[in-house]
Amino acid sequence: MGSSAELPLTRESVIAAHDLIKPNIHLTPVQTNTTLSNLASTPQTAEALKGTQWEGQEPARPKIKLFFKCENFQRIGAFKVRGAFHAVKRLIEREGLEEVRRKGVVTHSSGNHAQALALAAETFNIPAHIVMPKISTPSKIAGTQAQGAIVHFSGSTSQEREAVVAAVIKDTGATLVPPYDHPHIILGQGTVALELTEQASSLIASDSGLSVKEGKLGLDAVIAPCGGGGMLAGNAVALHGTGIKVFAAEPSFEGGDDARRGVAAGARITSVKTLTIADGLRTPLGETNWKIVADPSYVHSLYSVTEDNIRDAMRLVLERMKCFVEPSAVVGLATILYNEDFRKVVEREAGEEGWNIGVIFSGGNTTIEAIMKMFAPVGDVKAEREQGVVGEDGERVAENVAG
């Protein structure tokens, strides 16, 4: 996508993006859960901390009330439609619908962005070319084709995917709509935070047991998962200057916490190879997103959680909230429940008053079969995982495949 018509990365631009895409997206619900808020406010036991970096330390005692933004109920089952519709509609504004239809759009993705761009393009009768690795999950390929997209298969490396994208652009003139590393994608994803803060404020105001703090929107903090960083950066832009702190959550497995490590080192990490069960977060932080995520005035701090933490959090959501989510969606909740560094920040900064924290459930695009494998005895999938054939969720995986 050309740079001449890019909007500045400001809260005002996110508000404008929301106005533009409202007719095309669902207003997803914000839910609360007393059991999970109570668990978040209960100190971890010495047994739970055994074997962690916090073993032997006094557990944190934060006071937390949780508000869950359920993007698993969004169209195509994930937040990605927000950025896709915003990018496509801005492209139409710039070039005109007939010209965009003549050339089409193209992207590379193995999952949610593929389906999101396919849906946005189909809505306006625009040809969509989606480059997907041959080893992409069959259900995601089928979901993309069901939206009318033309799927082009490639190898799994970034070089192989980009070569196919370049060939499509040469043949068709199609415009590239990146999965996460573009201002219009970032601004579209940031609309999650606008809705979350307004919905949470209404819930807080209507609940006699909670109070809206003077001068605030109701929430004290928002935590979001981070893969390529489009949603995290968008939410940070949307909430900049509001007084609401933004935190990031990543999986630690096999270096999946590249954003956290990069910020700590002062340099963006450009390659990630991890088979974390949080498969939507296997991508490296995008270059545009890095500039926002690495700025502490936008993102307060970043945290990581283990595979067991993610499983435990997912089990709680499935069983206690009756809410169908994918592993990537619960890394924020896992951080709140199990990462003592984060919990100590809340205890220290919130004090006795406690914090109202918004948690973004990014999506629900998994399958019953994948969930069964994820909770099966480790030995059932260990051999295949060690061979690099499947991830811990039992699905075939590729390096750095953008969601």
Of 150, 160, 193, 158, the C-alpha closest to 179 is 158
Selected catalytic residue, list 13, 109, 110, 158: 110
Distance CA 84, CA 78 (A): 11
Asked if 120 contacts 185 with a C-beta cutoff of 8 angstroms, the reply is no
Q: Which long-range contacts (C-beta less than 8 Å, at least 24 apart) are formed by 97-102?
A: 97/124, 100/124, 100/126, 100/175, 101/125, 101/126, 101/127, 102/173
Give the torsion sign (CA, 173, 177, 179, 181).
positive
Structure tokens at 271: 């390659």
* Cα–Cα distance measured from residue 361 to residue 74, given in angstroms and rounded to the nearest whole number: 10
Question: Which segments of 55-148 are extended strands (E)?
Answer: 64-70, 105-108, 128-133
Beta bridge partners of 246: 222
- Write down the catalytic residue from 65, 69, 80, 89: 80
Q: Does the annotation mark 213 as catalytic?
A: no
- Encode 306-367 in three state secondary structure: CHHHHHHHHHHHHHHHCCCCCHHHHHHHHHHHHCHHHHHHHHHHHHHHCEEEEEEECECCCC
Residue 170 among the catalytic residues = no
- Between CA 330 and CA 332 the distance in angstroms is 5
What single letter denotes the amino acid at residue 184? H
Confirm if 259 and 375 have CB atoms less than 8 A apart: no
Q: Are 238 and 82 in contact (CB under 8 A)?
A: no
Q: Tell me, what amino acid is at 46? A: A
The angle subtended at Cα 86 by Cα 85 and Cα 87, nearest 5°, is 95
Just list the catalytic residues. 80, 110
